[in-house]
Amino acid sequence: MTLAEMQFVPPDLRLASAEIFMLAMACVIMIVDLFVKDKKRTVTYVLTQLTLVGAAVVTVMTVTGQVVYTFSNMYVGDLMGDFLKLLTYLTVIVVLAYSRGYINDRPQMAKGEFYSLTLFATLGMMVMISANHFLIVYIGVELLSLSLYAMVALNRDSIPATEAAMKYFVLGALASGLLLYGMSMIYGATGSLEISTVAERLFGGQGNKLILVFGVVFLVSGIAFKLGVVPFHMWIPDVYHGAPTAVTLFIASAPKLAAFAIIMRMLVSGLLIAAPDWQNMLLILSILSMIVGNFAAIAQSNLKRMLAYSAIAHMGFMLLGLVVGIVNGDAHNAINAYSSAMFYVISYVLTSAATFGMIMLLARAGFEADEISDFAGLNKRSPWFAAVMMMMMFSLAGIPFFVGFFAKFSVLIAVVAAGYTWLAVLAIFFSLVGAYYYLRVVKVMYFDAPTHSEVIRTPMDVKVLMSANGLAVALLGIFPNGLMFLCAFSLTRSLPM
């Protein structure tokens, strides 16, 4: 090795300045919270929101529009990463705004730890989104996962929350093992863990094909757990149900964006040559998820469990866009398919946030409004909030003209364009099954007698935010082209295709 090769090349810290800022502020907020006497943690809450806004500003200021690598090619900065990070910040800001009243009504949760863990989980998602190295992906996944385990168990007086955290932790450890084992096999097959280098060596004909296939199997299994698709879905219903609703909202929203990012990084950018192998796996996971998720959701009386099973079905539907990206070695349909999957994830996160936000809106101290019957007669108590919840249910069901309809439609177009007409018909059938349990919630809100007569008191900021969220779901259903273009453009400028 020559002296020139041994010289240390300083990394471009500017590209990772958003992560550095997030980490620094998370540590500062932890220390500041020690001196906060206010039980509502107003200072901690405001600082957390300002941190997320600041990270968004830093991300916008460091956008290059090019694919740039730093930290010895372990970190990548590109438009897809920047776009997903901005969406992540926005989602977490909305989640915290919805959660504030719920948390303040429960003294055991009104602690600074909730906000600190939220920031560390967000940092984990940022690392996942910008990782160009399998181990960096793993570090991001673990930072997110460990934060979520603690958040689920934050209400130590709740037996269901403690039980949910234990199940999540044990199954999460198993999934992490699968992920690491898959990474070790990919290293054995290619001699590298850097995603771009793995892709180069595989395209160059290097690497052991048999070991690579085994590595892909374990890798996809680990990713499937993080997405919560069948048969790696066991934790989803129990965690969604047992965790405090504020934590359920967080789990059901922003991490989906990060999970999509690592699929694009590891499978599309790194293992594109092995697409026939992982696409067949994703096809099976997708069909099973739509079957189990939709049919199991019908039997649920608890709204959080119903939404948990529907989340399994939605992630299965999203996988369809990834299944049809490469057809017989032809990547002609790839950007259209992957951008439809990205659009689907974003629309699901947007809709899911408002849905769980509505559950917390109706909840109060000592009462969780998580049964479908708790929404009975909501139209008589608050016509506007009933209308917002109805829009969320229509969007999740894929009814025109809401964003969920165009999300499903864009995926189905990609599936049909790839020649998988039978798969599109199957997906439409399961969407019709799913429409039943969503419309049941609408029926309960508008046609059943109210079980509660309390006036719904909502802070003005939450009322405005909930209204804006509902209108966004409606308007993006009428004018989806702008978001669709952003998804396609960011992927076009980021993927090596």
pLDDT confidence of residue 329: 63
Task: Give residue 97's domain range.
Answer: 11-492
Residue 368 belongs to a domain: yes
Residue 1 belongs to a domain: no
Nearest CA to 368 out of 461, 304, 307 is that of: 304
Q: Could you say which DSSP state residue 272 is in?
A: G
> Based on the structure, what is the number of domains in the chain?
1
Residue 2 belongs to a domain: no
Residue 3 belongs to a domain: no
Assign residue 364 a region: left if phi > 0, alpha if psi is -120 to 50, beta otherwise? beta
DSSP 371-386: BGGGGTTHHHH-HHHH
pLDDT confidence of residue 3: 46
Residue 390 belongs to a domain: yes
By residue count, the chain amounts to 497
Residue 25 belongs to a domain: yes
Specify the pTM: 0.93
Residue 240 belongs to a domain: yes
**Helix, strand, or coil (residue 330):** strand
Nearest CA to 279 out of 338, 211, 195, 204 is that of: 338
Residues 6 or more apart whose Cβ sits within 8 Å of residue 2: none
CA distance 170 to 33: 30
If the chain, 497 residues long, is cut into consecutive pieces of 10 residues, what is the mean pLDDT of each piece?
A: 56 86 93 84 91 94 86 88 94 92 81 90 94 92 93 85 89 90 91 88 82 91 88 87 90 92 90 87 92 91 90 92 77 83 93 90 72 84 88 91 90 89 92 91 86 74 88 90 90 79
CA distance 372 to 376: 7
The partner residues of 133 in beta bridges, in order of sequence, read 194
Residue 409 belongs to a domain: yes
